[in-house]
Structure 1
C-alpha cells in the first residue's frame, strides 16, 4: 500500500493496527476495571487500587506472565522476589503466598491458582539471553526480552531501567533439583489461571515473554488474558494464619491507615 499521500498513509497505518478482543467478565462479576488480551511478546501496565482482584489466564497453554509491582504513592517500594521467597519459607508460589515488598509489606496475595506452574527464582529474559537463543532481541523484534518490555512499561510511569528488578513468572514452572540446578516444568496447560488480591495501590507491569528456561527453540509464547475487578471485602477474609504473613499484613495495614 502506498504512503505517498496523507490519506494513503493514514489508511496504511490503520491497516497495521491489531485489535485483540478483550476477555469477558467471570461469572458473578458485574464490572471489570481491567480487561485485556496480551499477545506473546507484548506487555501491558495499569495502576490498580487496593482491594482489586487481578486474574491472569494462560489462554492457550504457552503464556508466561512476568510480573513486577510498585507501590503507587512510593514507587521506591516495590516487589522483592527474595523476600517473597524467604519470609514465607517457601520458594514455590501457590494460593496463600504473599508478594512482599522490600519494606516487609504485602503488595498482593495469591488467592487462587489452577496452574501451580510458576517461578520466583529465575527472573525474566534479557537482550543477551534472547540473542544467544533466538538470534535476535529488541522490543519490536520477533523475540523481545522480558527486561526490554519491562523497561518500556516502567517508562510510562516515570520509572527508569534501573528500577526494573527481578520479577516473578506465572504459568511456567521451575523446580530445584537435588544438586541445586533449576529445572523447567513448563506449563500446566491451556485455560489455567492465577488470582492476586491487591493490598496497597500498585503499578502493575506485565511482560508476556518466553521463560528463560523454556526448552522450545522457537519464541512461541501465546496469549495472556488480564482481568481485574473491585473486591475490597476479600481483604477481610484472607485465611493465611502463618505468623510471618500476619506480621506482613499488619505492617501493610499500618502503612495504609497512616496514609489516609
Structure 2
C-alpha cells in the first residue's frame, strides 16, 4: 500500500496477473495514468485502440487497456465509480496558460510529473502519449466540445486493474487547481499492488 501525496508522481512494475487498486481517499481527485509493456516500452497504452476495442469513450468494469499493437495491457476488473475519462489529456504549463492565463505558467502540472517520473524509468518526452484520467468527469457537450466538471467520485471509491502482461505504470496524482477535476484542492490517493484475487 502506497499513499501518493497530492500533486505527486508514482510508478511501479505490475506483474502479469497482479492487481493494481487505485483508491480515491477523499473523493473528486483525478489520477492521470500511463501504462507500458515493462519489457518493451515502445509498446504502450493506446487511446484509439482502447476506444475501438471497447466501443465507447469512457472506461469502467470490463474495459481493456489496449496497446498500440492492439494487445491487452490491463483490464478493469472492478470499478465502483462508474466512468473514467480517456479524452481530457494531461494538464501542462502550456495548456494551463492557454486556458487559464499566463499567471498559471509556474504551476506544477501532470506533464511535469510524467516527465520526472518517466526519466527515472528511462522514458523521455517522446514516450508520453494520450493518458487515462481515472475519476475525472469529462462529458462530451452537445456541440462536440469537452467539459471538465465536478467529479463523480467519492471518498473510498476504487478502480481495480489486472495486469495482462508485465507492465510499467506511471501515475500523476493531478495537481490541477484551475478546474473542478480535483474539486480545486488536490488530495492523496492510495495505490496498492496485490497478488491473487482482486482487493
Please report how far the alpha carbon of residue 111 of structure 1 lies from its aligned counterpart in structure 2 after TM superposition: 0.6
Structure number with higher strand proportion: 2
Please report how far the alpha carbon of residue 177 of structure 1 lies from its aligned counterpart in structure 2 after TM superposition: 2.0
Q: CA RMSD in A?
A: 2.3
Deviations 1:212-257 (A, max 9, x none): 98337985111111011012x78xxxxxxxxxxxxxxxxxxxxxxx
Given that 1:118 and 1:169 are in contact with CA atoms closer than 8 Å, whether structure 2 keeps it comes out as: yes
Structure 2 residues without counterparts, runs of 5 or longer: none
- Whole-Å separation in 1 of the counterparts to 2:9 and 2:182: 21
**Pair 131,178 (structure 1): closer, same or farther in 2 beyond 3 Å:** closer
Please report how far the alpha carbon of residue 184 of structure 1 lies from its aligned counterpart in structure 2 after TM superposition: 2.8
TM-score normalised to structure 1 length: 0.69
Given that 2:4 and 2:10 are in contact with CA atoms closer than 8 Å, whether structure 1 keeps it comes out as: yes
Aligned residue in 1 for 2:26: 60
Which of 113, 120, 128 aligns to 1:149? It is 113
SS in 1 for 2:43: coil
**Greater relative contact order structure (CA < 8 Å, 6+ sep):** 2
Structure 1 residues without counterparts, runs of 5 or longer: 1-34, 235-260
Deviations 1:78-136 (A, max 9, x none): 00012111222111111000000000111000111111241001111011123453734
- Whole-Å separation in 1 of the counterparts to 2:132 and 2:40: 20
Aligned residue in 1 for 2:156: 191
Given that 1:55 and 1:195 are in contact with CA atoms closer than 8 Å, whether structure 2 keeps it comes out as: yes
Which of 172, 186, 192 aligns to 1:207? It is 172
**Pair 90,217 (structure 1): closer, same or farther in 2 beyond 3 Å:** closer
- Whole-Å separation in 2 of the counterparts to 1:68 and 1:79: 7
Which of 98, 113, 138 aligns to 2:79? It is 113
- Whole-Å separation in 1 of the counterparts to 2:108 and 2:83: 22
Deviations 1:120-161 (A, max 9, x none): 0111101112345373456xxxx4111110011111111111
Given that 2:174 and 2:182 are in contact with CA atoms closer than 8 Å, whether structure 1 keeps it comes out as: no
- Whole-Å separation in 1 of the counterparts to 2:158 and 2:121: 27
| Alignment length (residue pairs) | 195
TM-score normalised to structure 2 length: 0.89
